[in-house]
Amino acid sequence: MNNFRELPTSSRTFGVNLATVDLNLLVSLHAILEERSVTGAADRVGLSQPAMSHALRRIRKLFGDEILIRQGVHSVLTPRAQGLLGPLRELLHRASRLLGGEAFDPERSQRTVTIAMSPTMAYILGRAVTHLLEEEAPRMGLRIIATTDTSDAVFLEQGADVLLLAEGYETEHPRQRLFDDEWVVIGGTPELLEGDVISRLQDWPHVALDSERLTRPYEVLRHRGVDVKVQVRVNDYLLLPQFVAGVRKIGLHRRRAVERMTHNHPLYIADFPFPLLGLGVDTVWNPWLGDAAFREWLRDLLLRACDMQWPNNED
């Protein structure tokens, strides 16, 4: 005799009785999380503001959380709401595909590509990425988030599809190498190349990043007993070469960026004189980005952008 009782599918599979949940609320929730505004969410979904306010009250009851709260003159997401955004995006994308939504096609897509990276990375790759998008995906938008933030907020709050992360910065998510790079010494006059680089590092005034701790190459110089004098400090690496060019000053920078700048500025490049870990850049994908076809296309586009910048690159 069979003593096992068949459980209802919803109880056995999902742990929540979905028959009691209005799944339309997830569409409204997605709009609220992204817009951070009841009015903006209503316009996006095509509801009246009172209807969206009513939906928000139901959402708050469903999740047992305020979701959206006032903070001064702005509305902000609660911590619980921030954690819902990524998984909800993936869920709605999968639901769209399940119901027969079109597969990603760059020629027809009107979605916006969102890339998070440092200003220096944007300087290195921005023109090539824009050129490729114009050729292959003319209807798509491009949004660049200039940031050094490596937390999940880049994905959950700012909506980045991919983060370009320099070697040495940690992340809990998988990473793939996009291109390799290295530290170099830069000077504003050709005398940099005429003598011993270590002597120049000791004798010439430095332009350096204004940072609370020593950057990696300066740690190596200190360890090697090379004393330096920092005369100019900037808060962004992209600005650094501007204060070296054409004058008797010295700095440390990425080879890839400086090689581009030498076309327009009097800059001279020498190898860093001591062994040093590289400056490779990796792609870190939004872990809630469910569209594999889009991710593969964007990965290929970024690789080809690198090839455009360095056609003879063997990395």
Report the CATH number that the domain containing residue 258 is assigned in CATH. 3.40.190.10
Task: From 54, 73, 98, give the residue that closes a domain.
Answer: 98
For residue 286, tell me if it sits in a domain.
yes
For residue 128, tell me if it sits in a domain.
yes
**Is the domain of 160 the same as that of 132?**
yes
For residue 5, tell me if it sits in a domain.
no
For residue 229, tell me if it sits in a domain.
yes
For residue 1, tell me if it sits in a domain.
no
For residue 259, tell me if it sits in a domain.
yes
Spatial contact of 296 and 119, defined as CB atoms under 8 Å apart? no
Position 2 scores a pLDDT of 52
**Is the domain of 118 the same as that of 239?**
no
Task: From 98, 120, 144, give the residue that closes a domain.
Answer: 98
- pTM to 2 decimal places: 0.76
**Is the domain of 25 the same as that of 69?**
yes
Render pLDDT for 249-304 as a digit per residue (tens, 0 to 9): 999 999 999 999 998 899 999 999 999 988 999 999 998 887 888 999 999 999 99
* Burial readout 135-172 (b: 16 or more C-beta within 10 A, e: otherwise): eebeebeeebeebeebebebbbbebbbbbbbbeeeeee
Confidence tier at 198 by pLDDT (50, 70, 90): very high
- Beta-carbon contacts of 238 under 8 Å, excluding residues fewer than 6 positions away, are 118, 119, 120, 123, 257
**Is the domain of 233 the same as that of 170?**
no
**Is the domain of 249 the same as that of 214?**
yes
Spatial contact of 216 and 277, defined as CB atoms under 8 Å apart? yes
Instruction: Outline where DSSP puts E strands in 174-240.
Output: 176-179, 183-187, 206-209, 230-234
Render pLDDT for 62-113 as a digit per residue (tens, 0 to 9): 999 999 999 888 888 898 998 888 788 878 877 877 776 677 899 998 888 9
Residue 273: DSSP 8-state: S
For residue 6, tell me if it sits in a domain.
no
Render pLDDT for 20-67 as a digit per residue (tens, 0 to 9): 888 889 999 999 988 889 999 999 899 999 999 999 999 999 999 999
Q: Which residue has the tokens 């020629």?
A: 107
**Is the domain of 190 the same as that of 266?**
yes
**Is the domain of 288 the same as that of 176?**
yes
**Is the domain of 158 the same as that of 209?**
no
Position 11 scores a pLDDT of 44
Task: From 47, 67, 98, give the residue that closes a domain.
Answer: 98
Position 101 scores a pLDDT of 66
Tally of domains in the chain: 3
For residue 3, tell me if it sits in a domain.
no
Render pLDDT for 123-172 as a digit per residue (tens, 0 to 9): 999 999 999 999 999 999 999 999 888 888 898 778 899 999 998 888 99
**Is the domain of 173 the same as that of 215?**
no
Spatial contact of 132 and 301, defined as CB atoms under 8 Å apart? yes
Q: Which residues form the domain of 238?
A: 183-271
**Is the domain of 156 the same as that of 124?**
yes
**Is the domain of 151 the same as that of 296?**
yes
**Is the domain of 200 the same as that of 133?**
no
